[in-house]
Amino acid sequence: MSRVVVAFSLAVMMSCAGHEQSIVDPAGPQAGKIAALWWFFLFLLSAIFVAVMVFMLWTLTRRHREVEREKTVESEHKPPEATESKLKRVVTGCTIATVAILFVLIVASVGTGKAVSELGNGKKRLIVEVTGNQWWWQFRYMNSDPSQILLTANEIHIPVGQPVLIRGMSNDVIHSFWVPNLHGKRDLIPSRTTTEYIQADQSGVYRGQCAEFCGLQHAHMSFYVIAEPEERFNAWMASQLQPAAPSSDPVLQHGQQAFLSYECVYCHQIRGTTAAGQNAPDLTHFGSRRSIAAGTLPNNLGNLTGWLVNPQRIKPGNHMATIAVNSQDLQPLAEYLESLK
């Protein structure tokens, strides 16, 4: 009973919050079908709840009168014939109604699942491989031409109105890929590949979140899906495929030298430099992303400097080593990373 009330108030709060991370603010066909199913369940089950409560109140107020009337028969611990047959009819009717309602819910649920899984089938589409890591997301845009394969992290761009095939994998434990405005949850399981389509019909920024408890920083494992018109998406793709541009600015050159001389290169890659680590997010266009540490903080110079000084303080337990960065190198290093647009 209280669950329904909580769910309803949550839904109202979420639908009032605008274009926030929400299942009741669908921005694509899959999420639209899931939201419709959710509302159907909510209204049907709320109606049943109200009916049960009304019936209960009615019987409570009626009982006294009945007991008075049936006094003589009550001594035999047996209701009169007429009451007994009425009771049988009511119980049979309620059982049939319950089974029928459960059947309707199952049909609606299975039907939605089937419809959602079929969306996007057979169309020309973009394929993005998602790999869950403790606690960040690697995204790889697949292409038959290896020079057009793009590696990025914690943020994807997709063209509006087109299905995108998400191929999900995990590097360590079970994670779950979930963009509530676009689709339901999809588990990422080690040594298995799962697939689903997502599609956004409206431009916008949609926040996604890991939906399976995966360790200490599970709550700080989010990402952004940026849906934009096709031309803008193509321009983004073209710029992301470029290696990092060399700079003539002495501060940025200093920063790059610092990056390449510290342990950063063992884990991170910056295309266009000698840094080719594969254990952590690709940083080639780090400065173009909205957040650092998988949605933990907005991406700006101040937050990045704090992160470089002590990543364990901001996201305890994360796998980035705390590197003793020389105080003269810190500012140029942060500025260099931010310049990687």
Question: Site residues (CB under 6 A) for ligand CUA?
Answer: 132, 135, 175, 210, 212-214, 218, 221
Q: Considering beta carbons, is residue 175 or 315 the nearer one to ligand CUA? A: 175
- Report, in Å, the least distance between residue 97 CB and ligand CUA: 40
Q: Considering beta carbons, is residue 107 or 216 the nearer one to ligand CUA? A: 216
- Report, in Å, the least distance between residue 188 CB and ligand CUA: 8
- Report, in Å, the least distance between residue 175 CB and ligand CUA: 3
Report the 10 Å Cβ neighbour count for 155. 22
Alpha-carbon span 173 to 165, nearest angstrom: 22
- Report, in Å, the least distance between residue 187 CB and ligand CUA: 10
Q: Considering beta carbons, is residue 112 or 318 the nearer one to ligand CUA? A: 318
Which among 227, 229, 232 has a CA at the least distance from the CA of 31? Answer: 227
Q: Considering beta carbons, is residue 150 or 214 the nearer one to ligand CUA? A: 214
Q: Considering beta carbons, is residue 153 or 214 the nearer one to ligand CUA? A: 214
Do β-strands 194-198 and 136-141 pair in parallel, antiparallel, or remain unpaired?
unpaired
Contact 178, 211 (CB under 8 A): yes
Q: Considering beta carbons, is residue 188 or 275 the nearer one to ligand CUA? A: 188
Q: Considering beta carbons, is residue 33 or 183 the nearer one to ligand CUA? A: 183
Amino acid (1-letter code) at residue 314: I
Can you read off the two tokens belonging to residue 61? 């107020």
- Report, in Å, the least distance between residue 25 CB and ligand CUA: 22
- Report, in Å, the least distance between residue 39 CB and ligand CUA: 28
Which are the contacts of 224, defined by CB distance < 8 A and separation ≥ 6? 154, 155, 156, 205, 206, 207, 208, 290, 291, 295
Helices (H) and strands (E) in the chain, counts: 10, 12
Element (H, E) at 166: strand 164-170
Give 138's strand partners. Answer: 131, 153
Report the 10 Å Cβ neighbour count for 16. 11
Alpha-carbon span 297 to 311, nearest angstrom: 12
Q: Is the peptide bond before 38 cis (omega within 30 degrees of 0)?
A: no
DSSP-based three-state secondary structure for 176? strand
- Report, in Å, the least distance between residue 311 CB and ligand CUA: 18
Contact 21, 180 (CB under 8 A): yes
